[in-house]
Structure formats: C-alpha cells, structure tokens
Structure 1
Amino acid sequence: MKNLKLVVTFMLLCAGLVSWAQEAPGSKVKVSGTVVDKDTKQPLEYATVTINSTTNPKGIYGGMTESNGGFSFDVPTGSYTIKIDFISFKSQEYPAREITANTNLGTIPLGIDAQQLDAVEVTAEKSTVEFKLDKKIYNVGQDMMVKGGTVSDVLDNVPSVTVDAEGNVSLRGNGSVKILIDGKPSGMIGINVADALRMLPADSVDKVEIITNPSARYDAEGGGGIINIILKKGKAQGLNGTVTASTGNPETYGITGNINYRSKHFNLFTTQGYNYRKNPGNSMTNTEYLMNTNPNERFLEERRKNERQSQGYNGTIGAEIFLDKTTSWTNTLSYRKSDGSNPDNVNLNYFDASRNNTRYVNRFNDQNNDSKNLEYSTNFIKKFKKDGHQLSVDASFSRNDDHDDSTISTTDNDYVAATTTLGSQRTGNAQTQNRNLIQADYVLPIGEQSRFEAGYRGNFSKLTTDYSVEALQDGIWVNDPLYTNTLEYKEKVNALYTQFGSKVNKFSYLLGLRWEDSNIDINQLTTNAFKNKKYNNFFPSAFVSYELNDSSNLTLSYSKRISRPRSRSINPFSNISSTANQFIGNPDLNPSYTNSFDLGYMMKWDQVTLNSSMYFNHTKDAEQYVRTQETISGNPVLVTKPVNVGYEDRFGFEFNVGYNPYKWWKLNSNFNFYRNETRGDYSYTNLENETFTQNFNNTAYSWFTRVSSKVTLPYKIDWQTNATYNGAEKNAQGRSKGIISANMALSKDVLKDKATIALNASDLFNSRKRKMETNLPTQNSYSEMQWRQRQITLSFTYRFNKPKTEREKQTRKETDSNGGEDYMGG
C-alpha cells in the first residue's frame, strides 16, 4: 500500500510538470517549511511534498525535501491542499489552504506509523555513492567488497581515493590528506595512520565523506583535502542491530556487532569487534652501485618476506541523552587494543662486475608489537527556536600507546675472504601519544536563505618516541648510540573561524576565514637538540555555485591549506631491518602551504549522474622524498628521507559517473588525470665527501581510474566487481610503474532477508605491487613491494529488529559533531 502511494505521488508530480506549461501564468509565491522526525527532531531528507490546487485539477506542484529537511517551491496564488509523505511515517495534510503570499509552514513533525513500518517492502536501494555540491559521500553499508575487512579496505573503494601497497592514503594522487573520525581528529587513528586504518573494522563505518576543498569550519591541515570517516550510531527506535562474522584466507577471523536501543529520552549504542589476521607480504630490490670502491660489491639483490600476524579488539559504547526537545548530550568511550608479530626475513646477495656471488647476508628480524588506545568524547547540542539555529560543544581526550620490540640475528658470509660473521641486535620502540581536543560551533540562520557560523577549536597533542638499538658483544647487550634516541614532539594549535553563506535565486555562496596559531616543539632528548617553531596564518575559503537548471549545477571553490610534518617524517632515527635500504626522518622539515582551486560541474539525467571537476593546487615548500647513498657503519646504504623542495603545481581533472542502465545493473566509474610539476634543488654529500646538488625540476603526468559494477543475478544474488589502475608517474630521481588490481564479491540475503552471506576476493589477480625505479649518480635500483597478498573472505551478517526498509536507507543529516556540513540550499 505504501509503495502504491509513492507511485501515485510520483505520477502526480510528473503530471504537475506537464501542466506547468499549460497553466496560465500568474503571480508566483513561495511555499516553504522543514520536515523532521517527531521523536528525534532529526531532519527527514527525501520526504515528498505534494501541493494540489483545489480549483485546477492540473495544478500540481511539489518535490522532495533537502538533506536539512527543508523545502521551498514557487506556486501561483490560490487555494491548495498540501500533503507531506515519508516512508514509514504518518502523513501530514493541510487541506484547502489559501496561499496569497510567501508562506512558511514552519517545522512539520512526522510521527512513525507502526503498521506501515511492519508492512513496508524494499522497492529501491540507495546509491552507493552520493554526489553533493561540496563533497562526495560513500555509503559503506551496501558494499560487499569490504565485508570482514578493515577501514583501509573501505578507503580503497572510495572514489578519488587510492591506498598504496604500504597503506598510505592519497586523494586525487595527493598524499597530503587529513583523516578525521566523525568530523574531528581522533586518537583512534593512532600514531601510525596506515597501521591504525588496517586495525579498525570496516563494519564499524557508516559512510565516508570526501571533501577536496574544505570550508573554514574544518581544520586547515591537509593540502590534498579531508577524508571524514563517520562511524555507525543507531538511529532507529527500539532495540536493533547487526552482527557480522567473517573468515578468510590467508588466515582471517573476525566478528563485529553494532547494537543500539533508542527511546524517547535516550539512545544507547555500542560497537564491539574482534579480529585475527595474517598478512603475508614480500619485497625485492635490485641495485647497481656505480661509484662503489669495493669491486666485489658491484650489484646487490635484496629479497624480503614478511609474515605479519595481528589480533585486536575494538569497542565503543555511548549514550545520547535527550535532555529536552531542543537539547542533547552524547558521551562516547572507545577502546582499541591490538598485538601481533612480524617475522621479517631479509636476504642480501652481493655480486661483482662479472655477476659472481661474492657475499651473502641474512637478517632475520623477529618483531613483536602491541598497541592500546583509549578515547573519551562528549558532545553537547542546543537547538534554538529558529530552524537551524544551534550551538554545539565538543571535547575529546585520548591516549595511545604503541610498543614495538625486535630481535635481529645476522649471518654474514664473505665468499671472497672465506669468513662468516654472526651478530645479534635488538631494538625497542615505545611511543606514547596524548591528544586533547576542545571545540565549539555556533550556527545562526539569517532569514530563510542565509547562515552565519563561527567557532573555536583547540588541538593539543604530545608524542614521545623512545627508540633504542643494542648489539650483542661478548654476551653483553651494548647500546648503539648511532640509532638510539628519545624524540618528544608537542603540538598546540588554536583556531578561530567564521563563515557566512546565502542563496539568492539560483546563486549560492559560502565565504569563510580561519585563523590558526601553531606552537610546535621538536626535542631530541638524547642529543639535547631542542627546536621550537611558532607561526600563525589566515586560511580563507570561498565556495560559490549556480543552478543552471533543475538537474545541473556549476561550482567554484578556493581554500588555503597547510600540511604539517608527521612524526615519522621528522624522527632522524630509522628502522634497521635492512642494512642496504633505510628511511630516516628530517627534524628540519617545515610545513607546506597549498592554495587550492576547484571548478566543478554536476549533471543528472534519468539514468546517469555526472560529477566532474577541474582543479589546481599550488604548494610552497612541498615535501619530497630524496634518495641518497650514504655510508653507515662502513656500509653503503640507500637512504630515503623527506625534504622541503621549492614548490609543486598540481593540475588535473576528474570525472565520476554513475549509470543505472537497468534496475538490476549499476555502474560507477572514477577517472582522474593530473599533471604534477616540481621546481627546486637539494644539496647533499655523496660517498666521495663531495657536495652534490640534486635538481628536482620535473614535470610528470599520471592518471588513475576505477570502474565498479553491481549486478543482481537470479535468485536475488548480488555480484559486485571493480577494477583499478594507477598509472605510472615520473619523479626527479626515477619513476613508479603502473599498478592494476581487481576485487570481486558475491552476496545473497537469507533467513527472510534478515541475514546476508557474502564472499569477496581482494586483489583477485595478486597483482597489487608497488614498483619503483631509482636513478642516482651513485646507483641505479629497481624495487617491488607487496604489503599483502590476495585475500579471500567469507562473511555472514545478521540483522535483528532491523528490517532492510527504505526508511533505514534514507539519508539523515548528521549533527555538526559528526562532521556533517551540507552546503546551503535554502
């Protein structure tokens, strides 16, 4: 019955569009209002508003509500019956209403219709990807590819986002990305972003927002943009939830449950999960030394195998209390614990110019690690009488402890000298991070089409890294001062922002200004080297849009961004698993500043949605990775470290296309092409103690594309596949080769649609490997790295008291504390 109502309403709306041209023109007035859930006061997006003339049968107007629940339609003056419908809610009707001037119906509350909720059937499925004017929203719930996976797997399926073989996240090919949890920096991300994303279960994520040009209300951090991960929080009435269990090969087990109980006065929610994973990986590097004084070591072949194993627990519990109809207070406590091991076996074979094997070195690194994170967050929201007028206050406090210990045994066979040397080392790496966040946001609507915002954010963090290396000498562990160090990093950032937005007919704009004051201490306690960096900056932003017609929009945006060095990039003491290839940080690294411009066009047809953009980023003091050959403990080592090099100009264009050729077939594609130009020089001392200047002037072209297909097969089996290609890219010291990979999944609803079985394969052809060529005056090298081999996962999801109704799939505007910021639409 409810589906029939929707069909009839849709036909009436179509009839109204046809009659538009037939009706004699007259004086037009505006009918507006806001539709909300009567119990939760949350706005209802996609509610149907039908305006029927009581005198002209063909006078039918209306449409759907926006994400903030608002609607506004122009109608000729006259007498009308106004009706508001939303699936699973009781309709609201205003019969025979005289409309002679602009009329605002105010806030229209709809109550739940229990009978309809019980009888409703699934008639449509919300698209996996939604395109907004200022962001893209990826809905995780329906993606079979990530069932039983991690947040890293989720991001690897998001348009415009790529995750490389080491877990590093890029947006439009730019690795300078800020990752938020529920709109805020979070201790849940931990110290090592890539590792933390692999530990968080995919089933705890509701959706991911991609914000390529953030407004002033967001942190200015992240030259490439912001990725906002929104976690699940139950919104439906009563007790309901889902439980997902999974298993796979390589050996993987996991179980995650999301449960919530909601009443008129409070909402209790929790996510609990456990996982165990094995992630075997491998790498290889072939090096030719061009200036090596040892003729017996002209070539080097390095082969590495990893057998990573981890198990972890992830738990969140929270309560949202409705103090009254306009005030809510939410408290959340999260705890994450993981431990694992990573036996790392490295084999090095040296050859002379005739390719004779002259030396063999084996280094076995028996690595163990554990990590704990505890975070408490609180959110207070006060809504005032005028719709959209509210004050929100947030605070979060977190502590993250990471411990990594290794014992390294070395066997060195010199075939020329006929000697064998044995050695042992052990390392300890203890990292502790404390992060405190306080913020307040105030929103004031002005009239019906304008909005003023202002706020404050204070972000205070302290990271201590205690790294030690010891060598076994005559049965005694002796400290190695070349690597041992304690690094203390303190960051205090205070920010104020304000922005104003308005809509005039088809033209909308949002102008903002953010001020951030940064106070950073970098203290190397072992060497007594202390540095303090203080700077403050203004970060303007502007966003304008124009509605060309009912189905297309043109947007132009600008923002200034900053990228502060991460802790790994400034710590000068490296991991020593390999004696031939090492990464070290640079404590002299400065922040990079980016001016970002974006021109976007969005067009909707009956079966196709196109979201395209052309962008340009100009970055000053761009962070680049330089590779130099240095002598460490008497051995030539290829050292990689970050440096500030001149500037970087990135220009590109992107297309996102959604196409539904049939009801049973959905296609989504993402294509990104960019040109990256760097200008600058870097000087260093080579093995001959000569100063060498590396010119970083380089122009590179690269592209990225992903195609995803979802097909409904007979017997209601869903089949989803995607293929990704990352194009080759040249840099000043070499090039990276192209990478192609594919994923596939099958799923079927069972137990009267209360449960779902899914089978997915990640990296189906085992082809996801990072391939790099490096060309220096001192050496040439080629390397391949595969962090994780092909993964096959079988999962089972059960939903209790939570039918797959269309109401569950309606988009709800998140509160500001969850990072939701829909652009002004009146």
Structure 2
Amino acid sequence: MKQIKFAVLLVLLFTSFYNYAQQPSSGSNKVKVTGKVFEKVSRQPLEYATISLMAPNDTKVIAGGITNPKGEFEVAVAPGTYDIKIEVISFKATEIKQKNIQGDTNLGVVNLSEDAAQLNEVVVRAEKSTVEIKLDKKVYNVGQDMMVKGGTVSDVLDNVPSVSVDTEGNVSLRGSDNIRILIDGRPSNAINVAEALRQLPADAIDKVEVITNPSARYDAEGGSGLINIILKKGKNQGLNGTFIASTGLPETYGLSANLNYKTEKLNYFTTAGYNYRTNEGAGVTNSEYLNEDGTTKSYLDEDRDTKRIRKGFNGRAGVEWIINPTTFWTNAINYQNNSGEDKDLINYNNFDANRTFTGSTYRLNKGITDSDNIEYTSNLIKNFNDKGHKLTADLSISKNNDDSNSDITGTQRYNSTLNDQVQKQVQIQTDYVLPISKGSQFEAGYKGSFSNLNNEYYVLDPLGATITNLSNTLEYKENINALYTQYGFKVNKFSYLFGLRWEDTNIEVNLLDTKVFNTKKYNNLFPSAFISYEISDQSNFSASYSKRLSRPRGRFMNPAVNYSSNINIFQGNPDLDPSLTDKFDLGYIKRWDKVTFNTSAYFENTKDVFSFVRYPNGQMVGGIPVIVNTPINVGKEQKFGFEFTLNYTPYKWWRLNSNFNLYNVKTTGENTYTDIVTGNLITQDLDNQANSWFARISSKVTLPYKIDWQLTSMYNGSQKTAQGKNLGQFGMNTSFSKDVLKDKATIAFNVSDIFNSRKMKSYTYLDEVNSYSEFQFRKRQFNLSFTYRFNKAKNERDKNAAPKEGGNEGGGEFPG
C-alpha cells in the first residue's frame, strides 16, 4: 500500500504544482514552509503525511508536499496567507487556518492523534505494494502476498526481489549464497539457518529488507549483502489481532495467532503458532565409473525417495514500555520447538560396462530430529530531541539445542548415527546518532557477538561400536568485537555517506576426539562509501563501495560426515579461512505515476572464496569408490552483473512486479589432495568462467466478485561449474483469495510449484566418474488458509507507533 500511496501522493503533488503554475504570478521569489509530523503518543515520526496549502476558505490546493522517513517536510510557496492541512491515513487531520507567510516559516512539530473511528472500521483501503523500491534497499511487504498464506519464511524469501531459495532451502542473493540473514536486525541464532527458516511461519513476518551493499553500520559479514527479516509488532490502540488456520496436501496444517494490546504507556504483543508439515521429495544420481584410460568400467543408478515430517511450535511475547515521550524499552521472549521424522530410501542398481544389469541393493535411513531454541531480547531507545539525536542499546541471549538420531539399514550393513548440538550466544550492541546540522549526521556504535557451539556426532556399527573415522566432537568458539563510525551529509542535490568499521575476530575450531585444534585470529577494517545524486523528485542516481567478509559457518566447518549416502558423502572443512569481498554498485531509480524502475550494475571481487569440490577418498563400498563433497578456499572470484526491478500498476485492479538479474562469474584456483591408494598428489584445476541469469515476474489481478488472483513465475538459468554444469530451473506458483464476513476474514488457496518442475539438476565430470543428478526437496503442494481479523483493518497502514527493535534495523540510509 505504501508504494501505491506514494505514487498517488506524487501525482497529487504534481497536480498541485501544475495548479499553482496556472495562478497569476505574484513574484518570482518563493519562501519555504518547513516542519515535522509526529505520532502524538509515541512521538515517532510519520512518513508520507501530506501537507496541503490552500487559499483561505478554498479547497483548491496551491502547493503541497509529503514527509520523509524522519517526518520532515519542506514546501516552496509564494508569500501570502494560507490554510494549511496536515493529514495521513488512520490519523485525525490538523488544520492551521489563515497562516500569514511572508518569509521562511518553520511550523515546528505537528502531532497527530490516531482516529479511533477509522481504526475500528474494517474497510479495504488502497493496498501497500508488495514490493517497495528504495534507493539503498528493496522492501518486500509480506502481508500483501497471497502466495505465502499458510507458508514459511522460506516461501516468503522465494518471492523477494533479488533473492532465490533452492530446493534444499538454501538462500541466495543475486545468485550468491554468500549472504547474512538477520531477524529484527540481529543475526539468526539457529544452528541450521535453512531448516529454521522452513519452520518459522510466514504469518509472523511483517516485511523483508534486501540490502545489497550495506554501510559500515551493519555487520561486515555477508559478501553479497544482507537480508533483514522484520517480525510483526502490534501498533494499534486497544486489543486487536489476527488468527490464521491452514491445511494442505501433502498433509499439512497449522494454526497461528497474532495479538496486540496497546495502552498509552504499554504495548503488549504476542505471536504463537503450531504447524505440521509433510515434505515429499525425490532424486536420482546416475554415475559412469571410468578406468584409468578413460573407458567405461561400470554404471550405478541411484533412485532416492524422501519424506520429511516436521512439527513445530513458535511463540513470541513481549512488551514495549513508553517510559516517557522520549524513552522506549522493549523486551521479548522467543521460543521455538521443532521435531520431525525423516525417511530416506535409496535403491542402487548396478550395471557392467555394457549396461547389463548385475544386481541391486538398497539403503534406508530413518531418523528423528528435535530442537529447542529460546531467546531473550531487549531494546532501549532514548531520543534526546525530535531531530534524530538518539541512543539505542540492544541485548540478545539465546540457547539452541538440536538433536538428531537415525538408523541406517540396507542390503549389506546396519548403522546408527547420533548428533547432538548445543549452541549459546550473547550479543550486545549500542548505536549513537547525532544530527549536526540540516542534512548532516554522525553515527557511531559498538557490537559484541560471543557464541559457543558443541557438536557431538557419532556413527555406530551394527554392534553399537563407534566408527572412529566417521565420528568426532566439534567445539566451535567465536568472539567478535566491532566498532564503527560513519558520517553523512548533503550538499545541494548530492548526498554522501562515508563509514569505517573495525572487527576483531577470535575463532577456535577444535576436534576433541582426534585432538586437532585450530585457532584463527584476525582483525580487519571495512570502509564504505555512498554517493547519491537527486536528478529530480522522481529519479536518483547512486554509487557505492563497501568491503565485506564471509566467515565459514555451520556445515561448512563441521567435519562430521553426512551419511545419508555411503558412496556420495558431504563433509565440512574445519580449516576454512574467511573470504574478503570488495563490492561496487551503481544504481538508478525512476518513478512515474504507475511505474517504479530500479536498475543497478555491480562488481564483486572476492579473495579466498569458498567452493565445493568432489574427489574420491580412496575407500570402496561394494567395489564402488566413495566420492567426497567438501568446501575449500579456492582462490579468487570476480562477479559482474546487471539487475533491474520493475513495479507497474497499469490499472487499479492489476499490479505487476518483476525482477531480472544477469551475471558473469570468473573463478581461478586449484585443489590438491592425496590419493590414499597410490599416495600420489592429485591437482584439480578449478578455473571456471560462467554466465547465468535469474528472472521472476508476479502478477496480481482483482477478478469479478472481488476475488484476487496472483501468479508468479521464476527461472534460474543454467551455469557451468569447475567440475560440471548446473542446469536451469523453472517454477510457477498461483493463488486465489476472497474476503468474507464483511471483510473481517479472508480465504486463500495457493498451489506451489504447479508443474512440479523445481528440481536441482547437475552434471559432474571427474577423472574417475561422470555423473548426472537431480533432486527435488519438496514436490508440488496445495494449501488452503482462513484468516480472521478483529479490530484491525485488512490493509492497515503500518504506522511508526512502535519503535523498531534491533539497533541495526533501518540504518544506513542516505542523509536527507
């Protein structure tokens, strides 16, 4: 709704200028009328409030403007006497009658009160656009997307511009998985981020911010940028909320509630939900094994069938205390419990060199998982004045337990695996913002992040004895201290933001069973620079640079073997080093009445980039060599790309959002390993250059009888790799929704992956084996949801009545 409202307000502004131009000239000199618009109770700025100047006792607008994110406005007008009206949706308008303006005039702070009558009416207002395009970020408004009703955060991210989610739940930005995911401005504390995102319900999410080139205010981690997931926080006066029930095929159902109760001093908010999800998947791997002379030795076809059941409860409760008009303190408790069952059946069919069937075996992996995550967060905001001078402090304490056990049976052997992970994290942060003069601002802050992960992983033989070469206990300790400062200022139509961040990192990676200890200490400076030029009120140009860091985490570092297949295994590398990226971005944004267009060209230069390599480890299973897939520091990667995002509203009943990304990646490096059988050193050349592209288009149409229909298509282009090729991937989703019960409720039906086509397909070519594989984590799904709202409008304007949690959230914008 915000983007459409913004376009409408721009049209009104243009109309005002046009009307004024038609008035008889009263002289070429104009004066400025300035001021600020705030919400009366919370003293927070109101963005997109309209200011209209009219001749006394006349409704014809002579001049006007809108407020920026800080609630500020500036209107140029000829000297004279005017009636001034200040208004915004869901607030009572304020009028200043017959104001005599002969020179530059500051109206000061105008406080608007909520309009209780409007808030309690359940009416359909102009909707906020699903995607808002800003100069330094893209904002995806979750509540306006029917595709994600009854879904998860992974479904949400898969609809965000510049972002894609593969079939295993891994998130990438502009084609790179080298990113940082934040929740309310803080890094996710989950051990397995991809799995955690699949368990968190979409109903708990307010919006998602995509920041491709963050400033020094943000963590340096995330070579390709940041994704900030902002959770819902109630803002309406009184008691209000939303209930959502959903069901689907394969068997899926869920129930969630979002409640809020706000008084003048206290704002209570809570979200709770339970979901049961069934994911059915499948895959194949067809391998051709080679002799030393390159001739065929044998063939092996693997057929995989998977079924994953997840049961999850997510709860969040908190309270915001408005201590006084300038001080806000928010405390919240988040709790997640997820459990599940996994069934992974692989059938092996063996063939000789002539493709004659020689026999078959099978392998069945049945496992159970259970995880608990609890987190306490606290956020304190102190506003020293109404000009943006403020201090914020944040604290986060969390503990995550993640257990999984599995029994592996098959034609030839029986094994069990035990995995127990415990992670503790503490994060503290403070940020200070000091406006120096109009258009200039100084910022500084500190952040400390301290975590400890203990991961016990054991593979047991049929007699219950530990298989030592497949088992280990990983202890991972990470302490990061960071300081930053940045200064932004504006000169005429140019805006500048320069920053510098320093991070000191101390990491211990210890394998307790084998007594292998690694310590990595390093500190780095991360400069950032942003320049924008305001071509007009409707168009801007920007250029930016930042240095970014990527630390290896999670499964990248864990040497425990993924034992789902005993001949194609994944194993982490505890000796990985961080990679450093220099990022350059040129951007342009243009707004018309019905169109918003944003394009950018970007270049990323990364040293010690992570890359996955495959090689035989020298072991044999039934005469078949075991292939290991593991990450290494390759060398250097250079990426150049072009991207554009387009929002188009041809009619009130039809909206289009599209995103396109084309890029070239050049990697240089090699991998050397020792052949266990011969003892020889084998060197793999990993030099590679490839082009790829990604496109997504979403259409939302209002059909007769007020039925909304949304259709989204996406395509990931093919890409050559150093050891093979990843094939292209196409997917399409659709959804229908209808408001019922006098618009207090909504019924939505969606189909995910209509053509059942979202499969990861790839070719791999090694000296010992050539293989083709495809995997589908989740097959086509159908989902039906019912949403009921009370004391809350369907498309309630997202007022700034409650301060944002998390010191990082919303920072780094250009001064204005």
User: TM-score category by the smaller chain?
Assistant: over 0.9
Question: Which amino acid letter does the alignment assign opposite residue 61 of structure 1?
Answer: A
- Asked if 2 retains the 8 angstrom alpha-carbon contact of 1:45 and 1:811, the reply is no
* Structure 1 segment 151-170 matched on structure 2, within 5 A: 151-170=153-172
Aligned residue for 2:150? 148
1:425-472: CA deviation from partner (whole Å, max 9, x where unpaired): 111000111111000011111122111111000011111110011101
Q: 1:468-502: CA deviations, max 9, x gaps?
A: 11101xxx311110111000001000000111112
Q: Aligned pair 1:431/2:421, yes or no?
A: yes
Contact kept in structure 2, 1:297 and 1:351, CA below 8 Å: no
Provide the residue aligned with 1:789 in structure 2. Answer: 779
- Alignment CA distance shift 1:504-1:781 (3 Å): same
Aligned in 2, Cα 1:811/1:736: closer, same or farther, shift over 3 Å? farther
Q: Which amino acid aligns with 2:223?
A: G
Q: Given that residues 136 and 209 in structure 1 are in contact (C-alpha distance below 8 angstroms), is that contact kept between their aligned partners in structure 2?
A: yes
Rate the CA distance shift 1:690–1:650 in 2: closer, same or farther, 3 A. same
What CA distance in whole angstroms lies between the structure 1 residues aligned with 2:13 and 2:422?
62
Distance 1:210 1:11 in 2: 29
Match 2:51 to one of 40, 49, 53: 49
Match of 2:488 in 1: 501
Q: Which residue of 2 aligns with 1:776?
A: 766
- Call closer, same or farther: CA 1:146–1:172 in 2, change over 3 Å: same
TM-score for both structures, normalised by structure 1: 0.94
Residues 1:425 and 1:381: Cα distance change in structure 2 (over 3 Å) = same
Q: Which amino acid aligns with 1:699?
A: Q
1:531 corresponds to 2:532: no
2: CA distance between counterparts of 1:812 and 1:667?
31
Give 3-state SS (helix, strand or coil) of 2:421's partner. strand
Alignment match of 2:547 (pick from 540, 554, 560): 560
- Give the distance between the partners of 1:294 and 1:558, measured in 2 at CA: 48
**Corresponding residue for residue 490 of structure 1:** 477
Are 1:60 and 2:62 counterparts? yes
Distance in 1 of aligned mates of 2:709 and 2:543: 37
SS in 1 for 2:683: strand
Query: 2 CA distance for matches of 1:467 and 1:55?
Result: 78
Q: Deviations over 1:702-738 (max 9, x none)?
A: 0000010000000000000000000000011101000
Partner of 1:807: 797
State which of 661, 665, 674 in structure 1 corresponds to 2:663: 674
Shift of 1:107: 2.0
Match of 2:443 in 1: 453
The answer for the alignment partner of 1:193 in structure 2 is 193
**In the alignment, which residue of structure 1 is the partner of 2:342?**
342
Q: How is 1:178-257 mapped onto 2 (pairs within 5 angstroms)?
A: 178-187=180-189, 190-257=190-257
SS at match of 1:478: coil
State how far apart, in whole Å, the 2-side matches of 1:770 and 1:317 are.
Answer: 39
| Number of residue pairs matched by the alignment | 806
| DSSP 3-state at the match of 2:530 | strand
Structure-to-structure mapping, 1:54-133, within 5 angstroms: 60-118=62-120, 121-133=123-135
Q: Structure 1 residues 316, 32: CA separation in 2 closer, same or farther (over 3 Å shift)? A: same
Partner of 1:419: none
SS state at 1:372 partner: strand
Cα displacement (A) at 1:314: 0.3
- Greater shift in the superposed pair: 295-304 or 372-381: 295-304
Q: Flag the 1:300–1:688 CA change in 2: closer, same or farther, 3 A.
A: farther
**2: distance between equivalents of 1:758 and 1:343?**
31
> What is the CA deviation profile of residues 568-610 of structure 1, one whole-angstrom value per residue up to 9, with x for unaligned ones?
1122221212111011111121000000111011011111110
Q: Does residue 1:20 correspond to 2:21, yes or no?
A: yes
Contact 2:429 2:447 in 1 (8 A): yes
In structure 1, how many angstroms separate the alpha carbons of the residues matched to 2:208 and 2:230?
A: 6
Q: Is the 8 A contact 1:491 1:518 kept in 2?
A: yes
User: Which one of the candidate residues 642, 645, 668 is aligned to 1:656?
Assistant: 645
Residue equivalent to 1:543: 530
Query: Measured at CA, do residues 58 and 663 of structure 1 come closer, stay the same or move farther in structure 2, by a change above 3 Å?
Result: closer
How big is the shift at 1:695? 1.5
Distance change >3 Å, CA 157–CA 401, structure 1 → 2: same
Query: What aligned pairs does 1:676-715 form with structure 2 within 5 A after superposition?
Result: 676-686=665-675, 688-715=678-705
2:361 alignment partner in structure 1: 361
Which residue does the alignment assign to 2:634?
Answer: 645
**Rounded Cα–Cα distance in structure 2 between residues aligned with 1:43 and 1:816:** 18
SS at structure 2 position matched to 1:482: helix
1:92: Cα distance to partner? Answer: 1.8
Q: Report the CA distance shift for 1:650/1:293 in structure 2 as closer, same or farther (over 3 A).
A: closer
Distance 1:591 1:816 in 2: 26
Match status 1:467 vs 2:457: yes
Give yes or no for the alignment of 1:716 onto 2:706: yes
- Aligned partner of 1:3 in structure 2 is none
The answer to whether the 8 A contact 1:322-1:329 is kept is: yes
Question: Counterpart of 1:402?
Answer: 402
Q: 2:315 corresponds to which residue?
A: 315
Choose 806-815 or 18-27, whichever is displaced more.
806-815
Deviation by residue 1:65-97 (Cα, 9 ceiling, x = unmatched)? 112222122333443332211123222223333
CA 60–21 in structure 1, closer or farther in 2 if over 3 Å, else same:
same
Equivalent residue letter for 2:506? N
Aligned-pair distance for 1:808?
A: 4.8
Amino acid at match of 2:389: H
- CA distance in 1 between counterparts of 2:336 and 2:353 reads 52
Q: Deviations over 1:160-209 (max 9, x none)?
A: 0000111110000011010000001132xx11111111010010000000
Structure 1 residue aligned with 2:3: none
> Aligned letter for 1:575?
N
Q: Which amino acid aligns with 1:170?
A: S
TM-score when scaled to structure 2? 0.95
Cα distance change on mapping 1:120 and 1:163 into 2, 3 Å: closer
Q: Distance between the aligned counterparts of 1:42 and 1:216, measured in 2?
A: 25
Greater shift in the superposed pair: 811-820 or 259-268: 811-820
Q: Contact (CA 8 Å) 1:565, 1:591: kept in 2 or not?
A: yes
Matched residue, 1:593: 580
- Between the aligned partners of 1:7 and 1:662, the Cα distance in structure 2 is 13
Cα distance change on mapping 1:121 and 1:7 into 2, 3 Å: farther
Who is 1:261 aligned against? 261
Change in CA separation of 1:529 and 1:818 when aligned onto 2, cut-off 3 Å: closer
**Distance of 1:9 and 1:728 partners within structure 2:** 41
Whole-angstrom distance in 2 between the partners of 1:716 and 1:217: 44
Distance 1:805 1:143, change over 3 A: closer
Change (3 A) 1:478 1:21: same
Query: Which moves more between the two structures, 24-33 or 361-370?
Result: 24-33
Q: How far apart, CA to CA, are the structure 1 residues paired with 2:296 and 2:806?
A: 64
For the 8 Å contact 2:496–2:815, the answer to whether it is kept is no
State the shift of 1:397 in Å. Answer: 0.3
| Offset, 1:53 | 5.1
Name the structure 2 match of 1:32.
34
Q: Using a 3 Å threshold, how does the CA distance of structure 1 residues 57 and 161 change in structure 2: closer, same or farther? A: closer
Q: Contact 1:67–1:813 at 8 Å: present in 2 too?
A: no
Amino acid at match of 1:259: L
CA, structure 1 residues 488+266, in 2 after alignment: closer, same or farther (shift >3 Å)?
A: same
What displacement does 1:549 show? 1.0
Cα deviation for residue 778 of structure 1 reads 1.5
* Residue of structure 1 equivalent to 2:747: 757
Question: 1:78-125, CA deviations, whole angstroms, 9 ceiling, x for partnerless residues?
Answer: 433322111232222233333344333222110123344456843411
Moved more, 624-633 or 452-461: 624-633
* Between 767-776 and 816-825, the greater mean CA deviation after superposition: 816-825
Q: Distance in 1 between matches of 2:18 and 2:342?
A: 64
Alignment match, 1:616: 603
Tell me, in whole angstroms, the C-alpha distance in 2 between the residues paired with 1:364 and 1:470: 15
